Chains A and B, each alone.
Chain A
């Protein structure tokens, strides 16, 4: 029977990051992955020959530079590359092009509304200010507000100081931000429907909230606080697909002596005397370890791979009630050529990048209404990207693959369980929507993969297919993530930790959760900290 210093359950990018840091600190670590491939939701899969889909997460902005650099991911083969040109498609013929050049972008906004073009500067300034504060907290462990430990008190003071430095007016605004809806928030800035819809769209990605739901303003902020090389709000692609991120981190972990085992699903965490002592695999093998790290979401961790009797009172119920609602679908399409869209100039810098079929706030809210009723909309919100136009490695030359992220898609249907027929009908709704803006689109389709929350949960183990491993609402953020009292990566059972997006700072391919969690483990082991603590935010 093998004995490890640490086992990490789940080879998602955060679990791998956690293992990389533990291995670098000299621990004997093994990562256990149920699938035959690693990466979790940061994965590249060749499901049709010649096409490599990032079939879950598909763009990248939150990956922390400090980790990228510290783990030397460039030498392990990772390069993040930009894509250009995002277009928002209105309900009718209106188009809003996000030109790369600031002045061109301003002129384009003016075409829709002179008022909103000016207001955009104010919005960008405000979002940058809010983002800066949140960004500073990303690579730090949230303080426990009820604790009297010097570290928590110091951290609270630090946080208080950062908040106060915003000024009194902004402080009030900031608090409002966490409770407002994206639509309400944007009402303060804009008058044009398409501009409002375009700016609101990051507020619903991945969440079971609508543009009118309180809390969606924060989701919006969560999606714009990332950056690409200091350009806040910018998004990029991982060359080779999102799996390249996981592969590079895995390579860094292995270079430091870490071990990765695929096809090794964990059935149960072993607990003795309220201490985690190892895991039992689905094949019955037992692996003993001083530390157990779960990279699974909080609900799955405490309701599926742990025995209720091993947990302190109340934890099971907290986990069961953890808000982790599935809301998104994903349609990955291999195309024989580049699609063209109506009412757009023939400018390759804007027609081949990202397409957001947002319509209006009204359309987005109606799609949400369908989700509430346990069905999907025939006029869904779709955010598309054509990575192959910017990354030569993911489709044959001249052919393309298009990632389509769909809001909304319910995890459970009102008319009974998901079936392959229903899944395909959901996929049809997406193709119909794109075809409306790109006549002939359907004829370009070579292969297609439709993923509802049902597939996402079953394949990569995200409960209900929730991409964030739990809603990003204030009751589940910061020191409340995943549960109040457990915001510092340590779990209710001794020697057990969490490293996934169910922990602070939440969803996104950032590698922060795994890194922060490794730092806490090293503190408990009284080892020197080797995990970077800030991402050079002296903005």
Chain B
């Protein structure tokens, strides 16, 4: 083999945490995200899921896109772009946001970190430099920098996460509230911790410059040893976020800027995210279309379902009758929830049929034979998993 890697151009890049992840990814189960090599799971997806619900576990969010938005006009520019009122975000607070096209179709969701009056960080799943540039048109004093590669990030989620960070020496960590940010000195630099996550459970996200990533990993894992720390990947993330009823791109919504067919993308109202759209604030992208949508009511509504039986309703169609005559929607994500012991799903259902009967037509395979069943669905108002500790400050040690 030559010293030059012939395939370098198409090989996924390692994350700053890769040297440690490599040892722990016993199954060699790698996927990729935004060009980063990224674990699907490390040991066993379901075990890792349980670490999030029972102990604590880390998830590498380095590949998430991160943008620094700075300048006197930064706040106004972001406020023009997203549907939530950015002016209401407190200093050192995080807010969940989404942004739409002028037609009110959802481009992406993400979080805005307010780090100073004129300094914000925006995170999101897919690259959006072009949209940010377009959104900053007309704002003179704003600079936008993609800091994705300059910031290593690790989510630590689960009931023992606070105890682990306390043991790691982050003094006062137990007092930070959900969506709050705090800076800790770390080997001459700063470790930023936010009480955020994508699991619906107690959890934090740690942000550090890449040069200190391994140092942070080692200290975290040393502290977490007695608290059951374990890395988890995409598979367990998808399980926990579904129990928390959080949406995923390419599952619940198709990014508007990547949608070919008319109305195959979604509006925030269809995704049950109307609470994130603030009509009282100054003008923002998609405002008039969304106002109209609000008046008219969304065609579809994302609905939480508890489905009888134990066969996950993956890709199932939803009908208003057991004989499957009237098709009224489709399942976007489905799983058997090991924590709740329920067969759960998110589904897009035509709003006008929401109050009637709901039936899912589920297909499954058993030893190469295909079977089908029609299962009754019950609407759920609350997310499937809502532990009190997720909101409690200070949280318990486990």
Contacts and interface: CB of A to CB of B under 8 A. Distances in A.
Given A349-B43, A397-B397, 13 more contacts: A65-B341, A68-B341, A69-B341, A74-B339, A74-B342, A230-B336, A239-B54, A391-B54, A392-B55, A397-B226, A397-B227, A536-B310, A538-B311
Nearest to A537: B310
A229 B310 CA distance: 9
Interface string B213-227: 000000000000011
A392 B43 contact: no
Summarize A's interface: helix, strand, loop or mixed: loop
Contacts of B163: 397
A375 B53 CA distance: 44
Interface in B61-104: none
The 4 A-B pairs at the shortest CB distance, nearest first, are namely: A397-B226, A392-B398, A398-B226, A536-B310
A73 B47 CA distance: 21
Contacts of A101: 27, 44
Contacts of B227: 392, 397
A539 interface: yes
B307 to A, nearest CB: 11
Contacts of B373: 538
A484 to B, nearest CB: 35
A390 interface: yes
Contacts of B397: 392, 397
A321 B141 CA distance: 91
Given A74-B341, A239-B54, A393 B228 contact: no
A292 interface: no
Interface in A490-539: 536, 538-539
A101 B42 CA distance: 12
B46 A229 contact: yes
B339 A79 contact: yes
Contact of A82 (B47, B159, B167, B226): B47
B260 to A, nearest CB: 38
Contact of B398 (A74, A80, A84, A393): A393
Contacts of B274: none
B309 interface: yes
A81 B341 contact: no
14 contacts: A65-B341, A69-B341, A74-B341, A79-B54, A82-B46, A100-B47, A229-B46, A229-B336, A390-B228, A391-B54, A392-B55, A392-B398, A397-B167, A397-B227
A69 B342 contact: yes
Interface residues of A, number: 27
A74 B27 CA distance: 31
A229 B27 contact: no
A79 B158 CA distance: 14
A74 B380 CA distance: 15
B339 A539 contact: no
Interface string A61-93: 000010011000110000111101000000000
Summarize B's interface: helix, strand, loop or mixed: loop
**Interface size band for B:** 20 to 34
Given A100-B44, A392-B159, A230 B310 contact: yes
A384 B340 CA distance: 28
Nearest to B386: A75
Contacts of A80: 338
B366 interface: yes
Contacts of A79: 53-54, 339
A257 to B, nearest CB: 23
A388 B17 CA distance: 29
B43 A390 contact: no
Interface of B: 27, 43-44, 46-47, 50, 53-55, 159-160, 163, 167, 226-228, 308-311, 336, 338-342, 366, 371, 373, 397-398
Contacts of A393: 398
Contacts of A74: 339-342
A65 B342 CA distance: 8
Contacts of A398: 226
Interface in A416-456: none
A80 B398 CA distance: 15
Nearest to B43: A349
B228 A392 contact: yes
A101 B373 CA distance: 31
Contacts of B47: 82, 84, 100
B160 to A, nearest CB: 5
A74 B387 CA distance: 10
B143 to A, nearest CB: 45
Contacts of A82: 46-47, 50
Given A229-B336, A229-B338, A81 B54 contact: yes
A371 to B, nearest CB: 37
A210 B227 CA distance: 40
A518 B227 CA distance: 41
With most chain A CB atoms within 10 A of its CB, the pick from B227, B339, B366 is: B339
Nearest to B398: A392
Contacts of B50: 81-82
Contacts of A239: 54
B54 A65 contact: no
A242 B393 CA distance: 28
Contacts of A81: 50, 53-54
Contacts of B336: 229-230
Contacts of B43: 100, 349
Contacts of A392: 54-55, 159-160, 227-228, 397-398
With most chain B CB atoms within 10 A of its CB, the pick from A73, A74, A100 is: A74
A539 B341 contact: no
Nearest to B306: A69
B54 A390 contact: yes
Interface string A384-407: 000001111100011000000000
Contacts of B340: 69, 74
Contacts of B308: 536
Nearest to A75: B340
B200 to A, nearest CB: 13
A54 to B, nearest CB: 16
A81 B398 CA distance: 14
Contacts of A391: 54
